[in-house]
Structures are given as C-alpha cells and as structure tokens.
Chain A
Amino acid sequence: GAGVSQTPSNKVTEKGKYVELRCDPISGHTALYWYRQSLGQGPEFLIYFQGTGAADDSGLPNDRFFAVRPEGSVSTLKIQRTERGDSAVYLCASSSEPGLATGEQYFGPGTRLTVT
C-alpha cells in the first residue's frame, strides 16, 4: 500500500534551466493536485487533474509552468526558464474523490526545488 511518491526529493538547478518534477499518486486515485509551498506559508494550489485532463489550472503562476498526466496516473510538473523565485517545496496530492473539493487528499513528501 504505497502512498504518494515524488521524485526527486531535492533538486538544485541554475537560473534559466528547465526542470521536471514527478508525482506517482496512489493507485486508482483519479484526482491529482499540485501545490507550491514557500517557506512559512501554506500550500498554494497550482493545478488539478481529473483523470488525464487538467480540470483547473488557474493556479499556475505563468506560462513557464506546465503539467501533464498522459495516462491518468503519473504526473509531471514542468518548469521552463527557472527563476530564483520558483524555489519552494512542490507538493503533489491525490484523492479518490473527484469533483468538488470535499474529499481527503493524500500528500506526497514533496520535492524541494532550489534555483541558484
């Protein structure tokens, strides 16, 4: 009974580089969320997938951020031309309850991204 896993756990990259962050949700969970958590803050919503499609991507800060979930399971968050302000912990969560935000989410341990 594996939980949500995220890789890598830590990523250090130089300003301007491209990064990919991976999330493996709990098997069978159709809903998947990405969040960004800056130091001393709560998680900030980025994007919500229901199955393969992005049901709500209104939290993505700009067009440098993009996420995919091609087979409805694993998801990848992609950040182009990284900036120092992108440094944060990126959290992934999955849920068996689609639709309205009423269900329990199961969070992964996060990927700590540092842009130098």
Chain B
Amino acid sequence: GNSVTQMEGPVTLSEEAFLTINCTYTATGYPSLFWYVQYPGEGLQLLLKATKADDKGSNKGFEATYRKETTSFHLEKGSVQVSDSAVYFCALGGGNQFYFGTGTSLTVIP
C-alpha cells in the first residue's frame, strides 16, 4: 500500500542555517508528491509539489526533488528564516487518496 515516512522532530535551527527534512515513501504506481506547511494558527497550505520522477518542486526558497530510485522527497532550504517556523507535512497522492506523514515541527531562532 501507500505510505509516507517523515523525519521526526522537533527541529530547532538558528536563522540562516541549512534545513533538510527527510521524507521517504512507499507507493504502487506513479504517485505525486507534496510538501504542505502549517504556520501557527493557520490551516494547511501547499508549499510545493512534484508529479513525476526527477521533477523538482520549489517555492519560497524551499526545494524538493522526486527521487524514484531512493523513494524520497526530502525538503531543503539553504537559509531558513524565523518566519519559516511551522509544521511541515510530506504527502503522497495516489489513486483517489492523499497520504500524509506525521509532520515535522521546525522552530527557527534569531
């Protein structure tokens, strides 16, 4: 079946540090992959997505590359800001369903 395994948090970084949040998946067929973000007090919103192998999704300085060979979709950002503090969810779209990871809480300190 389909599932997503996400790096556990919480993660605390200093401003301008490099961020990686690991995500691996198990899927049948050819799923689409997503990162969603939930800022404090707000609803889930799409951060970026990739719909096929080797695609790179990017937004707001964040990037993730769909790696079929390693079944991964790791989220990266070169220099985090305090405003990036949020919970990040990796997700997989397969069939009619979306499968979410457990979320990784990121706190960026000045």
Contact = CB atoms under 8 A, between A and B. Distances in A.
A44 B43 CA distance: 15
Interface string B80-94: 000000000101011
B96 A100 contact: yes
Contacts of B89: 42-43
B97 A45 contact: yes
Contacts of B32: 100-102
> Which range holds the interface residue count of chain B?
20 to 34
B46 interface: yes
Given A105-B46, A107-B45, A42 B96 contact: no
Contacts of B44: 43, 91, 93, 107
Interface stretch (B60-68, B71-79, B100-108): B100-108
A35 to B, nearest CB: 8
B62 to A, nearest CB: 15
Interface residues of A, number: 28
A70 interface: no
A44 B95 contact: no
Contacts of B101: 42
A107 B100 contact: no
A100 B97 CA distance: 8
A58 B49 CA distance: 25
Nearest to B46: A104
Given A91-B44, A108-B43, A101 B93 contact: yes
Contacts of A58: 97
Of the candidates A43, A59, A107, the one having the most CB atoms from chain B within 10 angstroms of its own CB is A43
A22 B97 CA distance: 20
B43 A42 contact: no
Interface of B: 4, 6, 31-32, 36, 42-46, 49, 51, 89, 91, 93-103
7 contacts: A40-B102, A42-B91, A44-B100, A93-B44, A104-B46, A107-B44, A109-B42
Given A42-B100, A42-B101, A104-B46, 9 more contacts: A33-B98, A41-B103, A55-B96, A56-B96, A91-B44, A101-B95, A101-B96, A102-B51, A105-B46
